[in-house]
Chains A and B, each alone.
Chain A
Amino acid sequence: DTAVSQTPKYLVTQMGNDKSIKCEQNLGHDTMYWYKQDSKKFLKIMFSYNNKELIINETVPNRFSPKSPDKAHLNLHINSLELGDSAVYFCASSLMAGSYNEQFFGPGTRLTVL
C-alpha cells in the first residue's frame, strides 16, 4: 500500500496553462506539506496544512494555491504556469504539525513547463 501518493508523476505543459497536482496519504496523519525541488536538487517548503488548515505559507507566488478538502488530501493548483515553475514537487505528511516529526514523502511530480 502506498503511504503518500501523488498524481501525476510527470506533467509537461505549455507556459500560461493552469494545472493541478494531487496528493493523498493513507497514514492517518494530521499534517501535509508541499515542497519544491529545483534543478540544483535543493528542497524548499512551500505550504503546510494541519487538519485542513494552512499553517505554513512560504513566499511563493499567489499563482500557487493549495487546497485541502480533508486531512488525507492536499492538492496544489498552479495558474498561469511559467518556465521557472519547472521543478519536482514533493508532497509529504507527518503525524502532527511541527518539523520535529518524521515526514513521509510522496514519489514526486516532475513538472516541465515549455
Chain B
Amino acid sequence: KNEVEQSPQNLTAQEGEFITINCSYSVGISALHWLQQHPGGGIVSLFMLSSGKKKHGRLIATINIQEKHSSLHITASHPRDSAVYICAAPSEKLTFGTGTRLTIIP
C-alpha cells in the first residue's frame, strides 16, 4: 500500500466546473507538496503547504495535518487545466502519490 493515496485516480469534468482532488498520507509529516504534470510530461511545483490554505490564481490547496489530508481545488476549470496532479509527502525523501489524471472538456 502506498504511503500517499490520491483520489480520484481519473476525473473528467466540463469546463467551468469546480474540481477537488484529495490526498491522504500515512507518513508523519508537517507539510505537503502539490505538483502538476502536463500532457507533454513536464512537472511543475504548484504548492508546498504546512497548514491552512494557499491560493494561486484559480488553484487552492488546503491541508489538515492532524487528519493527514490535503485537497487541491480548481475553480472555473478550463481545458488547459487538463494534467496529472500529484501530491508528495516530504520525509527523508519525497514520497509521491499515484496521481490524479484530470481532463476538462470544453
Contact = CB atoms under 8 A, between A and B. Distances in A.
Given A102-B45, A107-B41, A110-B41, 8 more contacts: A40-B98, A42-B99, A58-B93, A88-B41, A100-B48, A102-B33, A103-B33, A105-B42
Interface residues of B, number: 22
Interface string A50-65: 0000001010000000
B91 A99 contact: yes
Interface of A: 40-45, 48, 56, 58, 88, 90, 92, 98-100, 102-105, 107-108, 110
Contacts, number: 50
Nearest to B30: A100
Contact of A45 (B35, B86, B94): B94
Contacts of B88: 43, 99
A98 B91 CA distance: 8
Nearest to B38: A107
9 contacts: A40-B98, A41-B84, A42-B96, A56-B92, A58-B93, A92-B43, A100-B90, A102-B45, A104-B45
Contacts of A44: 96
Interface string B29-44: 0110101010001111
Contacts of A45: 93-94
